[in-house]
Amino acid sequence: MRKVGFFRSIHLKFVLIYVLLIALAMQIIGVYFVRELEETLVNNFKESIVDRLSPLEYSVTEAIVTDIEGTRTEEDPLLQDTIGALLSGLDSEDISEVQVIDARSRIIGAWSSEGSSQPIVGQRMTNSLVQQTLEEGETLEEDLNQTYVDPDHGRIWVLTSPLISNGEVIGTIYIVSRIENVYSQMDDINSILAGGTAISLVITAILGVLLAQTITRPISDMRKQALAMAKGNFSRKVKVYGNDEIGQLATTFNNLTKRLQEAQATTEGERRKLSSVLSYMTDGVIATDRRGRVILINDPAAGMLNVSRETVLSQSITEVLGIEGEYTLEDLLNQQDSLILNFGTPARPYILRANFSIIQKETGFVNGLITVLHDITEQEKIDAERREFVANVSHELRTPLTTMRSYLEALAEGAWEDKDIAPQFLNVTQTETERMIRLVNDLLQLSKMDSKDYRLNKDWVNFIDFYQRIIDRFEMSRSQNVTFKTKLPKELLYVEIDTDKMTQVLDNIISNALKYSPEGGLVRFKVEKKEKEIVVSVADQGMGIPRENVKNIFERFYRVDKARTRQLGGTGLGLAIAKEMITAHGGRIWASSVEGRGTTIYFTLPYDPTNEDEWS
């Protein structure tokens, strides 16, 4: 992976681009230089041949003219010898062959760098280039500059130059020169140029690597810093190698890193605050995206809905709240009032209130929805109990008031004159009045206990003696045939209680036991000592309470048999008052019952054994 990354890196790309640019420049320069040099060398070669040919043309022309005019003496050499002597003076590495042809296309002189050319002297020259020169004269010199390739000597250059005397072409000179030497020089120059190009490219590559490092090293450092920043590490700093543009970029990158670190710290702090707030909120909070999918849910909300955070993420808010059949996301976005969600059962009520708030940008674009859940089960229960309490009080007061009104109206209409009926009516009126007084007193008692200013006047007493005195009082004043049975510890048990309030508690409990006990029944009184509390119980053999109603008997105005309770004069508040007073003492109260076999009321009081020595 590292090797593949190197070939994809900007470092290699920079070096390659740099070397390719230099190579391209060298190629352009080389091509132009070689082409111009080749043209120059070829032109110089041709000019040198032409310059050396001019004296030869003059001498050969004079020799041919002398021969034609017949002015040669016997001492003068023959024309062929004269021309041969002139041609031999052309010995050069550049010239391969020279021939002199007269106007009749006969070779009258020849020279070759490879040996004697005498065998061809006197022969007829059939070369088309020579024939064209003899025919056209000086006008054909440009057409004579043609290059041929010889298998043995490589490239050669052939030149035919006319011999003119008095405006008449008397012959031509045919020259073959080795122009291959020029191209050999060009090949050597090309080799030198290629070697220089290679050396320059190597040097350029080395310099390119060094130069690329000065640019890519800060970029590589910034890349590593960016990767570290992506992982949350803002401690690294990019090294600044200079004050150029890259150095300024590195400085700016370091400043950016610092700003991002500060921004991340601020964001993390805010996130922790928000997380702490959401964690310690008693209300449930659910956040969704713009499509209504859950992206955040705190622990209280998960607990209220009895779901796990992992299972509800990305689910629809309507599905999580269980209202997908009744509401859509658009309905919730437009919901102004709270929604009441009833998750309860007949045996266990459970009600939630959901409030919705839209998350919007300044442009009005909806980003999501915030749902706040409140558990209003207790509140609904309290409201229901309050409504039931008002209805019960109204009913309990209306019944005696209606009775009293009826009897008073009867007395006002003349029944007071009847000596038999009037006392009965007055007795009923008095009984109902006392019943209302008891009801009002019980209500006042409960009101005082509900008040925050309620205080108990506690004192340390021996509960066994205290309990026995109350039992004795009921035993002496009972009007029905009921047997009392006690099971009390013989040791002293000192507890801190408000004797008046505790007397009222025991009066209410024992009174109920006596009311519902049948003739010849048994009421048992018991006290047990535990480690940190004492347990007091009163059991009767009455009609008992159905199992499903046992937990409700300590509620205000609750009656199992309302008709019988009213008949016996109960208000339905005795056990409710007892519960409040026991709770105020730091104890607990409960009941157990078997229908048809009786009921047992239990309550506890805090007990500290360390106080026994002090009070004994």
Tens of pLDDT, residues 342-384: 888 877 888 888 898 888 877 778 888 888 988 888 887 777 7
C-alpha–C-alpha distance, residues 154 and 497, integer Å: 138
Q: How many CB atoms lie within 10 A of CB 88?
A: 11
Q: What is 303-361 written as a DSSP string?
A: HHHT--HHHHTTSBHHHHHT-TTT--HHHHHT--S-EEEE---SSS--EEEEEEEEEE-
Inter-CA distances, 319 with 53, 97, 293, 549, Å = 110, 108, 10, 37
Closest CA to 368 of 274, 287, 286: 287
Could you tell me the two tokens for 132? 């064209």
- pTM equals 0.42
Backbone phi, then psi, for 121, in 5-degree steps?
Answer: -70, 135
**Which residues share a beta bridge with 533?**
606
Per-residue pLDDT at 528: 92
Please state the three-class secondary structure of 62-74 as a single string: HHHHHHHHCCCCC
Contact 386, 379 (CB under 8 A): no
Contacts of the segment 6-10: beta carbons below 8 A, 24+ positions apart: 9/216, 10/216, 10/219
Per-residue pLDDT at 144: 37
Contacts of the segment 490-493: beta carbons below 8 A, 24+ positions apart: 491/464, 491/529, 492/462, 492/464, 492/612, 492/615, 492/616, 493/462, 493/463, 493/464, 493/527, 493/529, 493/534, 493/607
Q: Which residues have C-beta within 8 Å of that of residue 383, sequence separation ≥ 6? A: none
Closest CA to 218 of 192, 190, 253: 253
Q: Which residues have C-beta within 8 Å of that of residue 277, sequence separation ≥ 6? A: none
Q: How many CB atoms lie within 10 A of CB 449?
A: 17
**Which residues share a beta bridge with 462?**
494
Closest CA to 168 of 130, 137, 142, 139: 137
Contact 131, 149 (CB under 8 A): no
Domains of the chain: 7-186 (3.30.450.20), 281-374 (3.30.450.20), 381-450 (1.10.287.130), 459-615 (3.30.565.10)
C-alpha–C-alpha distance, residues 222 and 250, integer Å: 7
Which residues does the chain have with pLDDT short of 70? 1-11, 69-78, 89-92, 115-119, 138-153, 385, 388-389, 391-393, 395-397, 399, 438-439, 442-443, 445-454, 557-572, 611-616
Cα 496 to the center of its chain, rounded Å: 62
Could you tell me the two tokens for 440? 């009002």
Per-residue pLDDT at 117: 59
Closest CA to 572 of 416, 409, 396: 396
The upper half-sphere exposure of residue 75, i.e. CA atoms within 13 Å in the direction of its Cβ, equals 0
CA-based Rg of the chain, rounded to a whole angstrom?
A: 66
Per-residue pLDDT at 115: 67
Contact 162, 169 (CB under 8 A): yes
Closest CA to 501 of 604, 585, 435, 606: 585
Inter-CA distances, 514 with 539, 553, 589, 603, Å = 10, 17, 19, 18
Q: What is the largest CA-CA distance in the chain?
A: 213
Q: Which residues have C-beta within 8 Å of that of residue 62, sequence separation ≥ 6? A: none
Q: Is 538 helix (H, G, I), strand (E, B) or coil?
A: strand
Q: Using one digit for the tens of pLDDT, what is the confidence trace for 452-464? A: 556 778 889 999 9
Could you tell me the two tokens for 101? 């042809």
